[in-house]
Amino acid sequence: MDKSWIEERDRFSSKYIAGVESFINFSRENGNTSDNKILCPCNNCRNTKKKSFIEVKRDLHLNGFYLYYRKWIFHGEPNVSHHSSFNRSTHTSVPSQNENPDFGDGGMALILTYLMNYLKC
């Protein structure tokens, strides 16, 4: 999947617009969207706030895509390491909206949960 559009400086270029659409469609098809909301990967939210698809699309155009979010694990992309010679647990649970929709801790709990799951052998 081409993600080069993420680095596009012109957020109104056809490449960036098509990339945002591709991301939204990917999230709809592969992510946990039971409440019709996803974590927003814009530069301001950085996957710490759940928003509607329209809000995420708007934020991505206004704020840009968070450049360090290359493996879309919170939006349905499998978290598989190809360089490892042993199996790792790749399941990462994303808190539901009811658990803590705004991640008031700045997302630290989410990061720690991800790391703990990733480091399990």
| DSSP three-state, residue 60 | helix
| pLDDT, tens digit, 9 for 90 and up, residues 82-118 | 554 444 444 444 444 444 444 455 566 666 665 665 5
pTM (predicted TM-score) = 0.65
Cα angle value 21/5/64 (rounded, 5°):
80
pLDDT of residue 42: 97
- For the chain, give every domain's residue range: 4-75+84-119
50-52 and 37-39: which strand pairing? antiparallel
| pLDDT, tens digit, 9 for 90 and up, residues 9-49 | 999 999 999 999 999 999 999 988 889 999 999 999 999 99
Rounded to whole angstroms, the Cα distance separating 68 from 15 reads 19
Rounded to whole angstroms, the Cα distance separating 87 from 108 reads 26
Rounded to whole angstroms, the Cα distance separating 3 from 15 reads 10
Residue 60, token pair as written in the block:
């991505």
Report CA dihedral (100, 46, 2, 83) to the nearest 10 degrees: -80
